[in-house]
Amino acid sequence: MSDFAEQRKMDVAFSIAENPVEVTIDRTEKRPKGGGREIVKTTVGPFTIRIFAQKGKSIGVVTLATTPGIRQEDRTYAFLAAADADIQCSPAVQDEFTAYGMRFRVTTVMRRYWNGELTNIDGTLEEVS
């Protein structure tokens, strides 16, 4: 285990601790069954993560018609989690959770490695109704 990987894990833990939120994941999986698929719903967690706004990114901007005009609303967020958090996103797996009174769907997950060792997980979220 490298010193840099351990330092990175400590830095991630420190960053999460600055504004932590505990989330429990509602997971929907599509699993092969016979000639089709079955939908399996499970709950995983809780995990302590950090959520922050991704303001200023063009991706995820929603244009809403309001009276008397139009406004743009950015519903894109990002998260940071420790290496042991089980957060997933794939065509077969959809993770959602509630935090800060909002419902989030995981839209991307990036596993970060140093010399083959997983140091943390981060990704993007979208606010859903």
Contacts of 82 (CB under 8 A, 6+ apart): 9, 12, 13, 16, 47, 48, 120, 121
What is the reported pLDDT for 64?
54
Could you give the 3-state DSSP secondary structure of residue 5? helix
Determine whether 115 is exposed, middle or buried from the number of CB atoms within 10 Å of its CB (0-12, 13-18, 19+): exposed
What is the reported pLDDT for 35?
84
Q: How many CA atoms lie within 13 A of 80 on its CB side?
A: 18
Global pTM reads 0.76
User: CATH code for 3-128?
Assistant: 2.40.10
What is the reported pLDDT for 58?
46
As averages over each run of 10 residues, the pLDDT of the chain (129 residues) reads 82 91 95 88 94 64 56 75 93 94 93 90 89
pLDDT digits (tens, 9 = 90+) for 23-56: 999 999 998 888 888 999 999 989 999 998 876 5
Separation CA 96–CA 21 (nearest Å)? 14
